[in-house]
Structure 1
């Protein structure tokens, strides 16, 4: 198992074509670690790509409660980076999960934000900062 902003620990097999049982279990745990989970390049404080930076900004603008949020830096571990792509069947990073459901990557998050769908979903899932 791994923790937000931490590297995957030893013993997890590679995830090139098929997820190992250990990797799937670790990713299940990560996706379940908070109501809002983002797999990104870098950290929320120091994103390492524009897409990850923009996604973090959108989540902040929408008012996601930091206590209900976890981010995983895929640059810290190649197994995590490849594994999450297999897990979601989505080829790019960042990847957003809300209450264990894969929402999508950057372009989908932007589109949902612009349409108001993301705000509605975040409110429905009760992951916003309480006023």
Structure 2
């Protein structure tokens, strides 16, 4: 495992809810990242860890390989890859995301 993959792995496994996004929750740098943050807020997530991929080129490339998913944002819950903003929206509308996010 490369250094960047190890860094990503530690972030994903060390935090309950991790969103790799462009920008940050206060100033998202793309519409999809902004939508992802809004969905998580609507779900009442208070322990969100965000990683701004624009600040780290290694992570920006590495995260795509880590999940084998070509786009950002990427959401991880309890160490598991959930998806990007479209999947998050579908899960939110179906009530699935709220269930996954409810602390056990």
TM superposition score normalised by structure 1: 0.76
Aligned partner (choices 72, 94, 99) of residue 120 of structure 1: 99
Aligned length: 104
Deviation, structure 1 residue 26? 0.7
CA contact (8 A) 1:38 1:72 kept: yes
Q: Whose helix fraction is larger, Structure 1's or Structure 2's?
A: 2
Q: What residue is the counterpart of 2:67 in the other structure? A: 88
* Partner secondary structure for residue 108 of structure 1: helix
Distance 2:61 2:14 in 1: 19
CA contact (8 A) 1:33 1:70 kept: no
Deviation, structure 1 residue 84? 0.1
Q: Does 1:100 align with 2:79?
A: yes
Q: Structure 2 matches for 1:15-26, cutoff 5 A? A: 21-26=2-7
Q: Does 1:37 align with 2:18?
A: yes
Deviation, structure 1 residue 23? 1.5
Question: Over aligned residues, Cα RMSD in angstroms?
Answer: 1.2
Distance 2:5 2:56 in 1: 15
TM superposition score normalised by structure 2: 0.95
Aligned partner (choices 27, 31, 36) of residue 55 of structure 1: 36
Distance 2:14 2:53 in 1: 16
Greater gyration radius: 1
Distance 2:80 2:95 in 1: 18
Listed as ranges, the gaps of 5+ residues in structure 2 are: none
